[in-house]
Structure 1
Amino acid sequence: MKEQHALVAELVPFLLSRGYARNERAPSERELAVRFQASRPQVREALSVLEALRLIERRPKSGIYLTTESASIEALALFAELGIPLSREELNQTAEVRRIQEIEAVRLACRRHDDANIDELRRCLGEWDRAIAAGEPVGELDRDFHCGLVKATQNMVLLRLVNIFYLMTKRQREFYFRNRDRRRQSNAEHRRIFQAVLERDEERAVQLLDAHLVSADSYWNGLLPS
């Protein structure tokens, strides 16, 4: 029997690659079961996952239809996990949403952070220093720092939303931080942002974080074809 995750990983790129029009019916459960050598109950369960992510719609007595234009943000994280590239426009829009979320988050963090949040951010920065000295990866530490800032807002829904972005960009961050100078620069920028949050200086924290995010986004935009 195929595991559900494996079947989902096969179904998504297959359905997306076919380029179905808005009201064009996709293959039936039976056809998909034959194609992927799975049972119909297995296919049905995998399709339920895609329906929950709003990637497909199953219409009674009609069939299966793609609805990627209304896909959930979790679906974008799934695309990243499966190695399905986003368009340049989708990447730009995702980065824009991230900036909106994190800029507001750092404002709230300045107002709401407690001692536990500050201690967690300090530990993260200490791990950065250790990782840089040892030549170890820092991609997940980058995620820990940014999510630590959002955690300091005391808004766990916002934290879950921001965390999805970092799940989506895990591979990109691993590549980005291969460069030693980038690791050091990002660490220095994180420390300045941390100090502004510690001092509850909202405007400085916003300016520093915005410049930090724009710098990273500019790097990726420079690599993408026009």
Structure 2
Amino acid sequence: MANCIADTVFESIRRDIFTGRYEVGTRLPSERELAERFDASRNTVRDALSRLDHMKLVKRIPQSGTYVTDYRKEAALSLLIYYIDNSLDLNDEVLNSFMDFRLVCERFAVRRAVHHMGPDDIRYLHTLLDEKLENASDGHILANCDYNFHEYIFQLADSLAMQLIFNTLKPVFINYLTYYYNLGDDPKGIIDYQRSLVAAFEKKDEELAGYMMEKLLLFGINLIKEARLTDTRHGKKLGE
């Protein structure tokens, strides 16, 4: 029971920080005040504050209090994992930041993957694209094949840190890839870009591979942004 209350306290304060109710540098109410507000014990409140501190959302200063940090500068991967695991609303700002990550990291990944790509790897990528064509009306299958295509490239890039971050973001990528493929557009357009990327791999052309990855990602990103703009005007959220 105490853990459930601690979760409630944690999430309420986290939300207040993200929405700006508690601005950067703000001193949070005391443990006693928070305990009264949430009808909880001070130990429960202390546990919630410790979790916020662990995620670098607040800083606890002995004999002074708990202060809101600038999470954009201070927060670590643990906050991102919490954000994803709890399916928090992916607003357009957050979604765009994930897309920016893909543009930067995948251009780098393909340039490294080129030098590790063998005939078996080329065949595997073509198999994934063939599977996409065979399931052109199933958004879920298309999204998973697409994720596997890009995840495999990260494997071949042989960068552990980048691979682990990409793995962490899987639920986000699957979410908006499914959204993309449920737009009703012919998926062949993006498959053509992916075939061209594979052709660049076959040629061992690092520059061409980087260029084709950028074109591939921008093609999909622009379609998603256009669709999101339309949905926002109608009050729809990602995944609805």
TM-score (norm 1): 0.77
Q: Does 1:62 align with 2:26?
A: no
* Stretch moving more, 203-212 or 175-184: 175-184
| Deviation (angstroms), 1:140 | 3.1
CA distance in 2, matches of 1:30, 1:174: 46
Across the two proteins, how many residue pairs are aligned to each other? 223
Aligned identity (percent) is: 26
CA distance in 2, matches of 1:212, 1:97: 14
| Deviation (angstroms), 1:107 | 0.5
Q: Does 1:82 align with 2:88?
A: yes
| Deviation (angstroms), 1:153 | 0.8
CA distance in 1, matches of 2:187, 2:131: 12
8 A Cα contact 2:139 2:178, kept in partner: no
* Stretch moving more, 165-174 or 16-25: 165-174
Q: Does 1:191 align with 2:166?
A: no
8 A Cα contact 1:189 1:208, kept in partner: yes
CA 1:65–1:123 in structure 2 vs 1: closer, same or farther (change >3 Å)?
farther
Larger gyration radius, structure 1 or structure 2: 2
CA 1:139–1:41 in structure 2 vs 1: closer, same or farther (change >3 Å)?
farther
Give, as a single letter, the amino acid of the residue that structure 1 aligns with 2:146.
D
Match of 2:133 in 1: 129
TM-score (norm 2): 0.73
Match of 1:139 in 2: 143
* Stretch moving more, 48-57 or 125-134: 125-134
The 3-state SS of whatever aligns with 1:132 is coil
CA 1:213–1:56 in structure 2 vs 1: closer, same or farther (change >3 Å)?
same
Q: Does 1:219 align with 2:227?
A: no
Match of 2:14 in 1: 12
Report Cα offsets for 1:107-158 as digits up to 9, x if no partner.
0000123567556535533442343255644323322221211111111211
Residue among 206, 209, 216 paired with 1:205 = 209
CA 1:215–1:5 in structure 2 vs 1: closer, same or farther (change >3 Å)?
farther
8 A Cα contact 1:30 1:40, kept in partner: yes
CA distance in 2, matches of 1:193, 1:122: 11
CA distance in 2, matches of 1:212, 1:148: 16
| Deviation (angstroms), 1:57 | 1.6
CA distance in 1, matches of 2:4, 2:186: 39
Gaps of 5+ in 2: 233-240
Superposition pairs for residues 41-120 of structure 1, below 5 Å?
A: 41-67=43-69, 68-70=71-73, 71-76=75-80, 78-79=82-83, 81-83=87-89, 85=91, 87=93, 92-113=96-117, 117-118=121-122
CA distance in 1, matches of 2:134, 2:6: 36
* Stretch moving more, 58-67 or 149-158: 58-67
CA 1:9–1:164 in structure 2 vs 1: closer, same or farther (change >3 Å)?
same
| Deviation (angstroms), 1:212 | 1.1
CA distance in 2, matches of 1:218, 1:111: 29
| Deviation (angstroms), 1:73 | 4.9
